Amino acid sequence: MKVEGEISVGAPRKEVFSRLSDAHFFASCIDGVSDLTEIDSTHYSALFATKIAYMRFNFKVNVEMSRIAPPSEIEAKVEGTPMGAVGRLTATATTQLGERDGQTDIRYAIDATLTGKLGSIGQPVLKAKAKEMEKQFAARLQAAFASGAESAP
């Protein structure tokens, strides 16, 4: 499953990069992430909880900041297992930052695979969920930086 989009925030690229490479800030933009723990400077563990209607899903995830190339690129790899069901979540998220008139264009792409029982059914609903999360992510990101930003997913 691939999710791609682009948003603009009203802050200089350097500032955006520095905040985005802070895992705590980044995690705070994703709905449902808690208990972020630093293992070392590039590895973290966290809990991720999400709910679709009456169904609740909890994942233990490990995050590796696999590539930090200032001032324009951050790549993170995520591996997780759902609690209470057999499965595996793997994702690679890349973020590219471009500068434009004092604004920063954030281009993001997430390539995620969910295997096991959760992955074998319900792809449309997971996709819808991903889209919803993406919207929230963009909104939080924009709220965190200066106002006047525009969204172009």
Of 16, 2, 18, 1, the residue nearest 98 (C-alpha): 16
Residue among 14 and 131 whose Cβ is closer to other proteins: 131
- Interacting residues toward other proteins by CB under 8 A: 1, 51-57, 84-88, 90, 113-125, 127-129, 131-132
Least separation in angstroms between residue 131's CB and other proteins is: 6
CB 59 within 8 A of CB 41: no
Least separation in angstroms between residue 37's CB and other proteins is: 20
Least separation in angstroms between residue 32's CB and other proteins is: 15
Residue among 17 and 59 whose Cβ is closer to other proteins: 59
Taking the CB of residue 148, how many other CB atoms lie within 10 A of it? Answer: 10
